[in-house]
Structure 1
């Protein structure tokens, strides 16, 4: 019987990938379509993806699939052929990473969820089939030259902070489920304007566009393939680029360089910086922006307390870590701790 889950420690798998010289390509894709038996579909994908050398994070639900993966470059064509043989996925757009070192993932995780994007929507009349109109990079640039166009960023603060489109509106919330009603409320007085929604790869803004139409907005668009596809199209077609900074991504890279501009600051010293890191203290792992100087000074930690902690004997660290639930520990979820990030 085939093994349908990983049995090797993640630490070992990460070390293997870091040493492996095999060229790999990072790809993301999603599709909203009906999956009758997500668990059965999940097990088949795990077996077949493993055979192709796929690593990454894939979520399945009855509403569809959401995937960020890495695959040996030599297997990309075979992977595309496999995926396109699944009828609802035939011709699916695959977003190729903009700035890729081949080390984005080191394990294959395929999980069944209630939804591929947690949205908090419980209205039975909501229908993903009624979604906004796609715009490509050229159309996006043209529409955003119109003063009656509003661009809405449907990503989290830590994504927006390091890079975003010109004049984009940030929805000030920590979760997508909170952002949806907030976006509708914020735009209530502008229901006749063109509204373009965007996100990293398209999955959130596609659902957001359907939500806005559900709430009575008329001229709703969403950026096809998100920032990743936009940047690739801009490069391929020689278009003007309206995205500035870095595109945050949810893998080991934590970001793709789009332009050389650094539009954010180190959370510890305030100098220009846009490198996200996780605090090296295993009982913290706070996600924050840290410049090279602070990284050296603070030894990769986010605070004096964490710096002191990593110098404790290992057994004492383990005892203190016991029972701690870090949750989704990111700097915007811990604003009260921002003062603690400042270095002396």
Structure 2
């Protein structure tokens, strides 16, 4: 039986905050990606929705935000298209988390760059409680499959940082640093679960024997796990205007450097190296004075545009 919107959406209703933020994905064969893109474009013109959806022949992935009616409408559309087994999570934002709505066509819904079969070959799914039990074991290698700037904002205790700048670099990390551990227990996690669908598939394809991943990713873990039982340290980077979230899916305290994209904690944001929209401690030495002046000009234009809308 196909899932219903009521089965996908959380029981609780929208809080007093204005924006429902829905993160979703599903690996499912899409025969005519251009047609699906066009029909989604037509739909979003009629509803108050922002964010990004990525469509590929292997499925759909993205995060969107809107009022409850808009979220309900996009859910129902996708259900009618056969996306009835979506990994779906909701949170809330007081401010508009994306500037506009984008629907992109790509070769992969999350770019690994290596052909894998996550619908047919995937690691063992673990819920948050099972996950805590596994990663507490001494014989488990715990790997954060996210990017370096995401790791910096927060991660699980004792997690390995592959130091990747993009997910496309992960196969090389597996080849050069993990290959000798094929007989070990490997546990992997990412923000919402989609990167681990592909990374566990990749490891099994490469001959690894025991591969596990956190179902629903860090977002589901933070939603369901009480802080006193949590093995998570720090906050979780998210790809929207909130920058990070913490336990209970509340907005975190980190802010984003809009020059380089790295998350900054409160003390880092107080350093003289931080200038909003221009630089931070991680990028101030990486850009020229001319580039910084260009960033200042861009920032002043953004501020002026915001004032004009008010």
1:12-27 correspondence to structure 2 within 5 Å = 23-27=18-22
Q: In structure 2, which of residues 165, 179, 194 is the aligned counterpart of residue 188 of structure 1?
A: 179
CA contact (8 A) 1:172 1:179 kept: no
Instruction: Tell me which residue corresponds to 1:47.
Output: 42
- 8 Å CA contact 1:38–1:62 kept in 2: the answer is yes
- Change beyond 3 A, Cα 1:311–1:227: closer
CA contact (8 A) 2:278 2:295 kept: no
Kept in 2, the 8 Å contact 1:96–1:228? The answer is: no
| Structure 1 residue 127 corresponds to structure 2 residue 114 | no
**What residue number does 1:116 align with?**
109
**Partners of 2:129 and 2:197 in 1: CA distance:** 18
CA distance in structure 2 between the partners assigned to 1:311 and 1:57 by the alignment = 27
Q: CA deviation at 1:183?
A: 2.5
Q: Which residue of 2 aligns with 1:141?
A: 132
Q: Whole-Å Cα distance in 2 between the matches of residues 192 and 228 of structure 1?
A: 29
The alignment covers a number of residue pairs equal to 271
| Unaligned residue ranges in structure 1 (runs of 5+) | 1-20, 260-272, 279-284, 319-344
> What is the CA–CA distance in structure 1 between the aligned matches of 2:163 and 2:200, rounded to whole Å?
18
- The offset of 1:293, in angstroms, is 2.4
**CA deviation after TM superposition for structure 1 residue 193, in Å:** 2.2
Larger Rg: 1
Q: 2:193 aligns with which of 188, 202, 211?
A: 202
Deviation at 1:127, TM superposition (A): 2.4
Deviation at 1:296, TM superposition (A): 9.1
Cα distance between partner residues in 1 of 2:276 and 2:111: 35
Quick one: distance in 2 between partners of 1:72 and 1:312?
33
Alpha-carbon distance change, 44 to 240 in structure 1, aligned in 2, over 3 angstroms: same
Q: Per the alignment, do residues 309 and 155 of structure 1 end up closer, same or farther by CA in structure 2, a change over 3 Å counting?
A: closer
Aligned equivalents of 2:297, 2:168: Cα separation in 1: 39
The 5 Å alignment of 1:59-78 reads: 59-78=54-73
1:31 is the counterpart of 2:26: yes
Distance 2:113 2:46 in 1: 36
| Partner secondary structure for residue 44 of structure 1 | helix
Q: Distance in 2 between matches of 1:104 and 1:85?
A: 27
**1:275 pairs with one of 252, 255, 273:** 255
Cα deviation for residue 72 of structure 1 reads 0.5
Report if the CA contact (8 A) 1:26-1:102 is conserved.
no
Q: Does 1:252 align with 2:241?
A: yes
Which residue does the alignment assign to 1:286? Answer: 260
Residue equivalent to 1:222? 213
TM-score by length of 1: 0.70
* Contact map agreement 2:146 2:164 (CA 8 A) in 1: no
Q: How does 1:130-169 map to 2 (within 5 A)?
A: 130-169=121-160
Deviation at 1:230, TM superposition (A): 1.1
Are 2:243 and 2:254, in contact at CA under 8 Å, matched by a contact in 1? no
- Deviation of 1:314 after TM superposition, in Å, equals 6.3
Alpha carbons 1:247, 1:258 under 8 Å: kept: no
Normalised by the length of structure 2, the TM-score is 0.77
Give the root-mean-square deviation of aligned CA atoms.
3.1
Residue 175 of structure 1: how far off its partner (Å): 2.0
- The equivalent of 2:202 in structure 1 is 211
> 1:226 and 1:50, CA in 2 relative to 1: closer, same or farther beyond 3 A?
farther
Deviations 1:132-170 (A, max 9, x none): 121111110111122122211111100001100111111
Displacement of 1:313 in angstroms is: 10
Distance 1:190 1:213, change over 3 A: same
